[in-house]
Chain A
Amino acid sequence: MEVIFLLIGVSLLLAGGFLFLFFKAMKGGQFDDDYTPSVRILFDSQKNKVKKDQPTKPKSYE
């Protein structure tokens, strides 16, 4: 049963790691704007934007 000591340590470290990552993400501004990235991801990147006749049109964003 002594393995529980180890498991508790690991679980606390893991959970603490997630907490730390959350703080980092928040400080980095990842939660500041929760709308624009959802639109941005749909844009074709510059390289494959070589003039097509029918550019892929993103679906509606609303």
Chain B
Amino acid sequence: MISSPIQDSITKCYHCGEACIDNTICFDEKKFCCQGCKLVYEVLSENDLCSYYQLESFPGESQKAKKSRSNRFDFLDDQDVQNQLLDFNSADESHVTFLIPMIHCASCIWLLENLVQINSGIISSRVDFLKKKVQVKFDSNKISLKELVTLLSTIGYEPKINLADQGRNSKNTLDKKLITQLAVAGFCFGNMMLFSLPEYFSEAQLLGKGFKGLFNYLNVILALPVVFYAAGSYYSSAWNSLKQRRINMDVPIVLGIIALFFYSLWEIFINQNAGFMDSLGGLIFFLLLGKVYQQKTFSTLEFERDYKSYFPIAVTKLVQDQEKVVPISKLEIGDLILIRNEELIPADSILLSPRANIDYSFVTGEEVPVSKSKGETIYAGGRQLGDPILLSVQKMPSQGYLTDLWNNDAFDKEKSGNLEPLANKISGVFTWAVLSIAFSAFIYWSLQDFSLAVKAFSSVLIVACPCALAMSTPFTLGNTLRIFGKGKLYLKNASVIEKMAQVDTLVFDKTGTLTSPANAKIEFIGEPLTQETKRILKAMVSKSTHPLSNRINHWLGGIESISIEDFKEIKGFGIKGIYQGEQIRLGSSEFTGFPYQVELIDGNLVFLTIGEIPVGYFHIQSGLRPCAPSIMQQLEGDYNLHLLSGDQNHEQISLREKLGEKVEFNFDQSPNDKLAYLSKLKNQGYHTLMVGDGLNDAGALQASEVGIAVTEEVSHFSPASDAILDASVLEKIPDFLAFAKANRTIIKMSFLLSFAYNVVGVGLAVQGLLSPIICAVLMPLSSISVVVFTTVTTNLVALKKGLIKLKQD
């Protein structure tokens, strides 16, 4: 808790830099806040790795909350698990890549790359800082995978081990192919320009006839890799779209490429003239450039996660009273499992222990734990807080109440919205227009001069090739993607922007999305609290990490605490302490011994007793984010608004008051209901955008045309979605939507611009006047001016909407 500015007089832990509050541990003339931090230092100093502390001050992370159970990595001895985790395995060398979220500074890189000094079984290790990954090569005869992970977690770098995230690097190889194509196109284009230059200025004549021929043939040779390799993706895309009887942007492009290539061949070999090979190279090079620009990816974010990447990969199973750690995939119905503090429940189970205290925050977005008693069903996805509990598995991990969502069809297929990119709509019309102009010109000229007719026909196809048209979309979208990224809305890919511009229905999840624990509404009911009681409470709640304690702490504000004795926190029940001989208890009604029942309508109750006297209780409701009403107000004019909530409907009246009349409320929605609701809207012909946060919204996010996951911390877990939004900029949703719409206008305007070029070009072409030099000038000029236009206008609009600021960075 950092409530006041830290003064220099406060002792800071040498390892993590946190203020040492309770008991400072001195070791080696250094001060540590806890045993964990000291332990890390000990390991590092023994191995002569203290440079760690000199590269950055306080590089470590507090080790206070560290779990110390020794057998928690036992599942790593399982051969199946090892096979899935290891990148490479041979008799004396194994490679493994870990994701370590803790990596944050230069010291981290240094330490992790010097692991070899701690254990000689490690051959080498290499950090990828931006991806927060470390690749370790080790000798499995000297150090096992389990020992390696244990070692990492001892020095404070516990890897996040996740089977679902393994082997997901196929995305990058696709990118590489595009880059290779671009490099080939660039190389050939550059050289072709050089060889074509003499032709433009009639210098070739001076060099003699031999050179002219040579330059042309060299151009043909250089054009071959461009046409047959670099442009490859356009052919397949155009072919696929034709097979579906549709015309996408790539069809006219391919038409242009074919016309350029074969007409140039004809010119060079039959007529001994210069062809348009340089223009062809330039066309493909610029097109690929646009494609690369559009592919901005946020490599640290993961948009495809399902529940498997959230669930643990192993669980402690009880077999004849013996604890055994097994991978989740080997769990069977009827198994007894032991879930310890902070561990996740992997399958729907029945509680066998008397009490459990389950935190469902990742599932519902509500962070206050729910109390469960013996015999109740506990759904997968919850996290136990407090003492270990015993459960009997009722359903396979993949068949649970929550995980069943992923068996829905919506997850099987790629998202198929009925929203078509603007460029595809236009290209159909465009292609037919170009073809008809070309044929008219052909027929007109063929009456007089057949060779001129062929020239006019191919010239039209060449010049009307929608280079500028095809580039305006990727550059506008690519730029918008970057602007959104700066505004903390991270999109999966550029096509999401076009979909965002076309949605007409917005669906919001309530808990965790529109409401936030930070805006909790707290009421104390009972005898008014005296100043002294408040100070006692402050002392108690500031020592507890329970979310309700945090909220009460927040509510109490800057009241100075008073010292109390014998403070204890009993997980799942409450906290207690002694002040002036009297026991103060704060927590559940049975814990505090509150004599009478209070009917809970909504939210949570926290009872307070001093001695044996019941003083009263706190009624805590999670409140709406302050920006929620204004978001609704800004959006209600243009969109249909819906609100889905897993809660009961007793808040409806107050919500309606705040959010306005136009929002359609739906309460009591299970994860599957939410999915069905979105599918229903879609079937009714609405274009939907869903804003949600927890795993319970995963189905709805998938079923919507655009799914936006809201998260407090973007690098943390978020369900599969099209976009991830930082919760702090939720109020900007209307701006983001408006900007996506403005984008569409910008694309349309740049289409007009490139049409203007086409009119000039086609005008020349139908008269049979097009020469290689005109083509070589007109083509890059139109492309570049379109790129400049879209870049400048998107930035201007973003600036006007306040999505970017001048002088950033």
Q: Is the beta-carbon distance between A61 and B51 smaller than 8 angstroms?
A: no
Residue in B51, B130, B131, B208 whose CB lies within 8 Å of A1: B208
Minimum Cβ distance to chain A for residue B135 (Å): 10
Chain B positions 119-158 with a Cβ under 8 Å from a chain A Cβ: 127-131
Residues B207 and A33 in contact, CB atoms below 8 Å apart? no
Determine whether the beta carbon of A23 is less than 8 Å from that of B183.
Answer: yes
Known contacts A4-B211, A12-B191; decide if A33 and B106 are in contact (CB<8 Å): no
Complex Cα distance A61/B108, Å?
13
B130 touches which one: A16, A19, A35, A43 (CB < 8 A)? A35
Determine whether B525 belongs to the interface, using a CB cutoff of 8 Å to chain A: no
B184 within 8 A of A: yes
Tell yes or no: A6 within 8 A of B by CB.
no
Whole-angstrom distance between the Cβ of B500 and the nearest chain A Cβ: 30
- Contact assessment for A39 and B129 in the assembled complex, using a CB-CB cutoff below 8 Å: yes
Q: How far is the CA of A8 from the CA of B114 in the complex (A)?
A: 50
How distant is A56 from chain B, measured CB to nearest CB, in Å? Answer: 9
Indicate which residue in B51, B114, B129, B190 contacts A55 across the interface (CB closer than 8 Å).
Answer: B51
Q: Which of B143-188 contact A (CB under 8 A)?
A: 172, 176, 179-180, 183-184, 187
**B774 adjacent to chain A (CB < 8 Å):** no
Chain B residue contacts of A19, Cβ below 8 A: 183-184, 187
- Decide: B110 and A43 in contact? CB cutoff 8 A: yes
Q: Is A26 an interface residue (CB 8 A)?
A: yes
**Complexed CA–CA distance, A36 and B135 (Å):** 13
Closest CB in chain B relative to A52 CB, distance in Å:
10
Q: A19-B187, A23-B183, A26-B179 are in contact. Are A1 and B207 (CB under 8 A)?
A: yes
Quick one: which of A22, A23, A27, A58 contacts B55, CB cutoff 8 A?
A58
Is B214 an interface residue when CB atoms closer than 8 A count as contact? yes
Partner among B176, B211, B218 whose Cβ is within 8 Å of the Cβ of A26: B176
Number of interface residues of A (CB under 8 A): 28
B54 touches A57 (CB 8 A): yes
What CA separation (Å) do A36 and B110 show in the bound complex?
A: 10
B113 CB within 8 Å of chain A:
yes
With beta carbons under 8 angstroms apart, the residue of A16, A33, A58 that contacts B131 is A33
Give the number of residue pairs across the A-B interface with Cβ within 8 Å.
58
A58 to B59, CA, bound (A): 14
Complex Cα–Cα for A26 and B183 (A): 11
Least CB separation from B113: chain A residue? A40
Contacts of B211 in A (CB 8 A): 1, 4
Number of B residues near A (Cβ < 8 Å) is: 28
Does B109 belong to the interface (CB within 8 Å)? yes
Q: Contacts A1-B208, A12-B191, A23-B183: A36 and B130 contacting too (C-beta < 8 A)?
A: yes
Docked CA distance A12–B187 (Å): 10
Interface contact A49-B51, CB-CB below 8 Å: yes
List residues of chain B with CB within 8 A of the CB of A8.
Answer: 214, 218
Q: How far is the CA of A36 from the CA of B127 in the complex (A)?
A: 7
Chain A residues with CB under 8 Å of B190's CB are 15
Residues of chain A within 8 A of B131, CB atoms compared: 33
Contacts of B127 in A (CB 8 A): 36
Give the Cβ gap from B89 to chain A, nearest Cβ, in Å.
20
Are B214's CB and A5's CB within 8 A?
yes
* CB atoms of B130 and A33 under 8 A apart: yes
Q: Mark B197-240, 1 if CB is under 8 A from A, else 0.
A: 00000000001100100100010000000000000000000000
Shortest beta-carbon distance from B104 to chain A in Å: 11
A16, A23, A35, A61: the one contacting B180 at CB < 8 Å is A23
What is the CB-to-nearest-CB distance from B510 to chain A, in angstroms, rounded to a whole number? 39
A42 to B113, CA, bound (A): 13
CB distance from A24 to the nearest CB of B (A): 11
Q: Mark B79-118, 1 if CB is under 8 A from A, else 0.
A: 0000000000000000000000000011001100110000
B128 close to A44 (CB less than 8 A): no
Chain B nearest CB from A8 CB (Å) reads: 7
The interface residues of chain B lying within 8 Å CB-to-CB of A42 are 106
Cα distance A22–B184 when bound, in Å?
A: 10
Contact partners of B214 in chain A: CB under 8 A: 5, 8
| Contact indicator A57/B128 (Cβ below 8 Å) | no
Q: How far is the CB of B157 from the nearest CB of chain A, in Å?
A: 15
State the CA gap A5–B211 with chains docked (Å). 9
Q: Are B129 and A33 in contact (CB under 8 A)?
A: yes
Q: Are A22 and B183 in contact (CB under 8 A)?
A: yes
Q: How far is the CA of A22 from the CA of B106 in the complex (A)?
A: 29
A33 and B214 CA atoms in complex are apart in Å by: 43
Whether B109 and A15, one on each chain, are in contact in the complex, defined by CB atoms closer than 8 angstroms, is no
- Cα–Cα, bound, A19→B113 (Å): 32
Interface residues of A (CB under 8 A from B): 1, 4-5, 8, 11-12, 15-16, 19, 22-23, 26-27, 32-33, 35-36, 39-40, 42-44, 46, 49, 55, 57-58, 61
Q: What 17 additional pairs, Cβ within 8 angstroms, besides A43-B55, A57-B55?
A: A1-B207, A1-B208, A4-B207, A12-B191, A15-B190, A19-B187, A22-B183, A32-B128, A32-B172, A33-B128, A33-B129, A33-B131, A35-B129, A36-B129, A55-B51, A55-B54, A57-B54
* Sample of 15 A–B contacts (CB below 8 Å): A1-B211, A4-B207, A11-B191, A12-B218, A19-B187, A22-B183, A23-B183, A26-B179, A26-B180, A33-B128, A33-B130, A35-B129, A35-B130, A57-B55, A58-B55
